[in-house]
Amino acid sequence: MKLTIDHLGKQYGRHFWGLRDFDLELGPGVIGLLGPNGAGKSTLMRMLATITRPTEGFIQWNGVDIAGSPNTLRAVLGYLPQDFGVYPNLSAVEFLEYMAAIKGIGARAARRRIDELLQVVNLADAAKRPLGGYSGGMKQRVGIAQALLNDPQLLIVDEPTVGLDPEERVRFRNLLSDLAGERIIILSTHIVSDVEATATEIVVINKGRKIQQAAPEQLLKLLEGQVWQWIVPSPDLPALKQTHIVSSTLRRSEGLLVRVVSESAPAAAAQAVVPNLEDVYLHLVSQNGVGQ
Amino acid sequence: MNNLRILYHMARADFLERVRRYSFLLVLAATGYLGFAINRGDLYLELDGYRGVLNSAWVGGMMAASSVLLLTLFGFYLVKNTIERDRETGVGQIIATTPISRPMYLLGKWLSNTAVLLTLIIILALAALVMQLLGGESSRLDSWALLAPFLLLALPAMLLVAAIALFFETISWLRGGAGNVIYFFVWLFALISALESKVFWFDWTGLWITWQSMAEALTKVYPGYSGGFNFTEQALPAGGLLTFEWMGIHWTPEILLSRFIWLIVTVVLVLVSSLFFRRFDPAFEKIRKPQKSTSQTLDGMGEVPTSIQHTEHQPVQLSVLARDWPRFSFLQLLAAEIRLLLKGWPWWWYLVALGLVLGTLFSPLETTRAELLPFAWLWPILLWSSLGCRETHHNTRQIVFSTPHPLRWQLPSAWLAGFLFAALMGAGAAVRFLLAGETLSLFSLLAGALFIPSLALVLGVWIGSSKPFEVIYMMLWYIGPFQKTAALDFMGTSTATSWPMFAGLAVVLFIIAVVGRQRQLAD
């Protein structure tokens, strides 16, 4: 099971490239795709999901070019788009039965699978109600269920936790971890904690280009000894932001507890702390310039 | 002053958003073509073999009358989406949180609707000018005679249509396809009533005022004139039309007052609309099936744990699917498509449908053929109009198009579902034709059942909206099967000889729909 992306590019209009010179080789596991808004994540997802064709380069699924034969991949693909709709007059069961039919899953197998998935996404109680009355989070969970209907070998989820409440977010992260095994899961998000919890490999993307690909542990090593924490008076924060990457601030009675990425100690009181992925992500993106 | 500024910006933003769309260019092109066709004489106004000399009054009057006739119908469908767009884009939710009042919002939208229609009227007014200059029958350019029909007849009519469109958008059950169908009949009824009443106070389009004025001038020269007034695309009779000189409408105070009254009606209609406009409050949005239970939480999940930490994680074990798929069952997919097509209608909709089928089965053969069958095939118009555009309308394109073989399986099954419903609604008539041994009528019925879903599919796929099918099908239905115009009678209610053409058209349209979907899939 191998997904190969080679010199992939997508051009919009005459002058704008949403993605350019993108190379990636993926095997089973959860791949977290991180990047700021407009970095090109959704463009990449849509090309991988055969929704749009690359302007240049190619994508191969087990050696087969998916631009030439998209159905090879579609048969084993589960896709949750960032922005999608449902048919409001169908219930969740009926919608999933419809999706199962157009994915070519037999009626009996589909029925069993749908029951399981509705339990998994915590919609069993609301399964018979029209989707038009669902909240945004519930629709998102229907989307997750449809993506898993065909037991996909390649599961692409684009900003899947948008609209989910904290409990459902945790549930979804756990689900992704449980499903990882003999399948490739691509999780695209700009929420670092989602990736931190599940990804076995992280790809950071900015301005339509890949700027880093590594295991989370390797990424964390990049900033060992470069993350600092200390308390500053609140009025000093704007000046600090001008000179350093501030990855977080917490209010304390003495002032603000700031967390800064810097090669050397930025202040006498600064203490080195263990880096987290948020620090790494901000560092990588800021080195590469802000999003488009 | 502040209110005027708000109105200006409301109307301006909405107008710019519309005219910068590619589809508006197509509308402009179609309007330009209309002006060109009238200029070339492909479409002309004649009064039982007579026409006016091409002076400023005649070209202005004729072009204004043409624009009123066409834009009071098509203009409505063109502008009936201004509130809908705010709803779909989510801008409405933002506007709802601003201090703008409901009448002010609707007045802004009304002005924007009017500006769109006025743009088209201006194109036709320019076409009238060109027509006089090229016609060479009158060298004197009388700008008042040329422009007055646009200003005093077409403009009030456009203001009214802009307000009616707004009114339809504020009433939940008139907002969608049902409103599109109802407007067609309202327009037809209002147009015919205004012309037949022969009272200029009721003449909301100004067509009767124009006609009367022309007839008066004509009768003075040709007393034998019998009173006809036609827009036609038919070839000119040999020797052409006889001409008379018409100097334009004599704008009496009564006529001016009647136009002013229609303006007042328009403003009142906009203000009345504001009573029904709910400021995008989701509580008033139309939901076909009310939820039975309101006791559940917003997410419908029953009790939600108060703490995430309390939720124990048990690893998910999904059953393994045998890797022998995709193994499509066309019947399974067809059943899913049929369910999708039939879901969400109220019980009385099915009851009427059943009544129509039974009616066609048990009524006298001629009643079935000429009256009940056309209605049986009009009733499901909103069901068919979702074909091909459902994925765009409900934003399911990405998940549907990323499934295996969407072109080979999903599109044909959607079409077949539409065909089967047409066949079901025509089943009563089919049995009657079979029993009467009318083979040709049976073929016509079959061709009609093939043609309807093909037309819906091609328009839905290529335009991505249900509205074009609703408008075009209604016009076809009215002119063809209902008015018994043989060339457009796709049901065979007047003649059963056109079936090969419609069967062929069905195939061609289906192929064009497939090409359109292929294009969508290839992005």
ipTM, 2 decimals? Answer: 0.77
Residues in Cβ contact with A236 at an 8 Å cutoff, skipping those fewer than 6 apart: none
The two tokens of residue A66 are 């998916």
Gap from A149 CA to chain B (nearest CA, Å): 9
Lowest-confidence pick of A15-29, A143-157, A180-194, B116-130:
A180-194
> What percent of chain B lies above the pLDDT cut of 70?
92
pLDDT digits (tens, 9 = 90+) for B427-463: 999 999 999 989 999 999 999 999 999 999 999 999 9
A12 close to B (CB below 8 A): no
pLDDT of res. B324 = 64
Gap from B206 CA to chain A (nearest CA, Å): 43
pLDDT of res. B496 = 67
Dist CA B464 CA B470 (whole Å): 13
pLDDT of res. B308 = 42
Of B287, B291, B403, the CB nearest to A102: B403
pLDDT digits (tens, 9 = 90+) for A255-283: 999 999 999 999 999 999 999 999 999 99
pLDDT band at B300 (very low <50, low <70, confident <90, very high): very low
Q: How high does pLDDT run on average in chain B? A: 87
Query: Which of the 8 DSSP states describes residue B488?
Result: G
pLDDT of res. B313 = 63
Q: What is the helix, strand, coil percentage profile of chain B, to 5?
A: 70, 0, 30
| pTM for this model (two decimals) | 0.78
Q: Which residues of A touch B311 (CB under 8 A)?
A: 167, 170-171
Q: Which residues of B touch A86 (CB under 8 A)?
A: 394, 396
pLDDT band at B65 (very low <50, low <70, confident <90, very high): very high
- Comparing B309 with B125, the larger pLDDT belongs to B125
Gap from B420 CA to chain A (nearest CA, Å): 18
Mark yes or no for CB contact B340/A126 under 8 Å. Answer: no
pLDDT band at B115 (very low <50, low <70, confident <90, very high): very high
B103 SS3 class: helix
Is residue B104 within 8 A of residue B6, CB to CB? The reply is yes
How many Cβ atoms from other residues are within 10 Å of residue B269's Cβ?
Answer: 18
> What percent of chain A lies above the pLDDT cut of 70?
99
The yes-or-no verdict on residue B331 having pLDDT over 80 is yes
pLDDT digits (tens, 9 = 90+) for B460-488: 999 999 999 999 999 899 888 888 888 88
Gap from A137 CA to chain B (nearest CA, Å): 7
The one-letter code for the residue type at B458 is: V
Dist CA B235 CA A198 (whole Å): 74
pLDDT digits (tens, 9 = 90+) for B368-416: 998 899 999 999 999 999 999 999 999 999 999 989 888 888 999 999 9
pLDDT digits (tens, 9 = 90+) for B147-172: 999 999 999 999 999 999 999 999 99
Residues in Cβ contact with B469 at an 8 Å cutoff, skipping those fewer than 6 apart: B381, B384, B385, B387, B455, B456, B459, B460
pLDDT band at B190 (very low <50, low <70, confident <90, very high): very high
Residue B392, φ and ψ in degrees, nearest 5: -75, -45
Mark yes or no for CB contact A104/B322 under 8 Å. Answer: no
Look up tokens 């939820």; give the residue: B291
Beta strand segments in B387-511, E: none
A85 close to B (CB below 8 A): yes
pLDDT digits (tens, 9 = 90+) for B229-250: 888 877 777 777 888 999 999 9
Q: Which residues of A touch B406 (CB under 8 A)?
A: 102
Angle between helices B347-362 and B411-425 (to 10 degrees): 60
Residues in Cβ contact with B369 at an 8 Å cutoff, skipping those fewer than 6 apart: B429, B432, B441, B492, B493
Mark yes or no for CB contact B343/A112 under 8 Å. Answer: no
Lowest-confidence pick of A44-53, B214-223, B490-499:
B490-499
Q: Are strands A255-261 and B44-46 parallel, antiparallel or unpaired?
A: unpaired
The burial class, CB within 10 Å (0-12 / 13-18 / 19+), for B93 is middle
Nearest chain B residue to A110 by CA distance is B321
Q: Which residues of A touch B412 (CB under 8 A)?
A: none
Considering all CA atoms of chain A, what is the largest pairwise distance in Å, rounded to the nearest integer?
68
Of A79, A116, A122, the CB nearest to B319: A116
Mark yes or no for CB contact A81/B322 under 8 Å. Answer: no
Dist CA B452 CA B419 (whole Å): 7
Gap from B373 CA to chain A (nearest CA, Å): 28
Q: How high does pLDDT run on average in chain A? A: 90
Is residue A240 within 8 A of residue A232, CB to CB? The reply is yes
Dist CA A117 CA A144 (whole Å): 9
Dist CA B417 CA A219 (whole Å): 54
The one-letter code for the residue type at B407 is: L
pLDDT of res. B325 = 60
Mark yes or no for CB contact A146/B399 under 8 Å. Answer: yes
Residues in Cβ contact with B142 at an 8 Å cutoff, skipping those fewer than 6 apart: B55, B56, B57, B248
Angle between helices B22-40 and B102-135 (to 10 degrees): 30
Look up tokens 């049995």; give the residue: B431
A225 close to B (CB below 8 A): no
Q: Which residues of B touch A90 (CB under 8 A)?
A: 339-340, 343
pLDDT of res. B118 = 95
